[in-house]
Amino acid sequence: MRGSSEVLESLHPLCPPASDGLVRSSASSQTIVDLCVERNLWPAMGTLGRHRVEQHFEIRQMIRNYEALYEQLLQEAAINAQAH
């Protein structure tokens, strides 16, 4: 379930990982079914999702992350160019 890793992370408070730290697909599937049925959980999930976006996707932090990535790629390219 690689493409849904962020969804699973947002479910973490409602679908805690197993002792090995992994979220089991059966547990996450059941949580999704529960969320479809239990409308009273929707506001909490919305709040959790918004908090996650605010925490992990704040624009200034994303810009810093991209800048750091570009710097790293430029340094690696320079090292590779010197090696050849």
Give the count of domains, the chain: 1
Give the helix, strand, coil percentages of the chain, each rounded to 5. 80, 0, 20
DSSP H/E element including 14: none
- CA 38 to chain CA centroid, nearest Å: 24
How many other C-beta atoms are found inside a 10 Å radius of the C-beta of residue 14? Answer: 17
**Which residues constitute the domain of residue 9?**
2-83
pTM of the model: 0.42
pLDDT in tens, the chain (84 residues): 334 455 545 555 555 556 665 555 666 677 778 778 888 888 888 888 888 888 878 899 889 999 999 999 999 999 999 987
